């Protein structure tokens, strides 16, 4: 369904992503790990057409994504919704309206200007918030919510687009361990229950191991590991992070290690 072929992005002499090849045959939950500067964000940004590739190709269900322009490109961008570390909500706007903004691509300028949303969309937004365990916060301003709740609003906004793929760039990097766990569990449920592919850049190896079926390791723009969490041995982790001190610091930092996955399931339910 998704095929990334020799995808490369250079910034002058600096090759941020170097001939990456990734094939996703069926919906999956994929974690991308690697040190700072490895090229993780650049890879996600190319997938979402936020930045153009220097060379190579992205194909999705026989469409050439790298060649899309104008309306077709915008349609693709709503089919692969993006979630960011800093949530990117409108802080002073209520939660439901923030979620409804996920439908902006499909609405007229006039309707957008006057904040006119069809009742069916409003119901859908509330249902999605309910599913994520935060419906009671619907009328509040986004800025009044905790970081974990705000990230779930961002996920709800992404779901409003009914995306085939959710791209998450360090979705839990600003969250405390409990909220991090809840957000990862929400993404996992969305993958399992809806059959959507989730591709998340993650800061720690443990999070990738715990929540993903497949882990991709990047180093200096190259994919140096692509396998299951079980195949991600200490040796493989050293190849990804390097064998110096930063390996022990970055790869073994266990942000949510001490929490049991069922704790988060309780909160989401």
- The dihedral built from the CA positions of residue 142, 143, 144 and 145, taken in this order, carries a sign that is positive
- Taking alpha carbons only, the member of 181, 161, 163, 162 closest to residue 171 is 181
Alpha helix stretches (DSSP H) within 95-163: 95-100, 109-113, 119-131, 147-160
Q: Which stretch binds ligand ATP (CB under 6 A): 38-46, 128-136, 185-193, 231-239?
A: 38-46
Q: How far is the CB of 102 from ligand ATP (least distance, A)?
A: 24
248 Cβ contact partners less than 8 Å away, ≥ 6 residues apart: none
Task: Provide the binding-site residues for Mg ion, judged by CB under 5 A.
Answer: 41
What is the residue whose two structure tokens read 């220097």? 54
Q: Identify which of residues 200 and 264 has a Cβ nearer to Mg ion in the complex.
A: 200
Q: Does 102 bind ligand ATP (CB under 6 A)?
A: no
Q: How far is the CB of 58 from ligand ATP (least distance, A)?
A: 16
For ligand ATP, which residue of 38, 145, 168, 223 counts as binding (CB under 6 A)?
A: 38
For residues 240 and 13, what is the distance between their CA atoms, to the nearest angstrom? 22
Q: How far is the CB of 222 from ligand ATP (least distance, A)?
A: 12
Pairing of strands 197-201, 29-33: parallel
What is the residue whose two structure tokens read 């001190």? 245
Decide which of ligand ATP, Mg ion, none touches 48; Cβ closer than 5 to 8 Å per partner kind: none
Decide which of ligand ATP, Mg ion, none touches 36; Cβ closer than 5 to 8 Å per partner kind: ligand ATP
Q: Does 37 bind ligand ATP (CB under 6 A)?
A: yes
Binding residues for ligand ATP, rule: CB under 6 A, are: 11, 14, 16, 34, 36-42
């Amino acid at each position: 369904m998704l095929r990334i072929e020799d995808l490369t992005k250079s910034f002058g002499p600096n090759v941020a992503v170097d001939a990456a090849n990734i094939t996703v045959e069926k919906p999956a939950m994929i974690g991308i790990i690697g040190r700072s500067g490895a090229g993780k964000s650049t890879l996600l940004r190319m997938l979402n057409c936020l930045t153009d590739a220097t060379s190579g190709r992205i194909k999705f269900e026989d469409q050439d994504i790298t060649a899309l322009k104008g309306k077709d490109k915008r349609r693709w961008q709503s089919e692969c919704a993006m979630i960011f570390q800093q949530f990117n909500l409108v802080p002073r706007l209520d939660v439901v309206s923030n979620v409804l903004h996920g439908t902006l691509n499909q609405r007229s300028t006039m309707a957008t200007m006057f904040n006119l949303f069809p009742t069916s969309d409003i119901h859908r937004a509330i249902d999605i918030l309910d599913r994520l365990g935060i419906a009671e916060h619907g009328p509040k301003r986004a800025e009044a919510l905790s970081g974990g709740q705000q990230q779930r609003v961002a996920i709800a906004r992404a779901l409003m687009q009914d995306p085939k793929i959710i791209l998450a760039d360090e979705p839990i990097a600003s969250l405390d361990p409990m909220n991090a766990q809840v957000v990862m569990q929400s993404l996992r449920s969305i993958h399992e229950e809806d059959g959507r592919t989730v591709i998340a850049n993650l800061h720690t190896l443990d999070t990738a191991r715990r929540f993903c079926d497949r882990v991709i390791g990047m180093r200096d723009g190259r994919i140096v590991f692509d396998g299951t969490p079980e195949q991600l041995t200490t040796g493989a982790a050293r190849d990804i992070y390097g064998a110096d001190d930063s390996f022990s610091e970055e790869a073994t930092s266990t942000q949510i290690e001490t929490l049991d996955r069922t704790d988060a399931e309780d909160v989401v339910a």
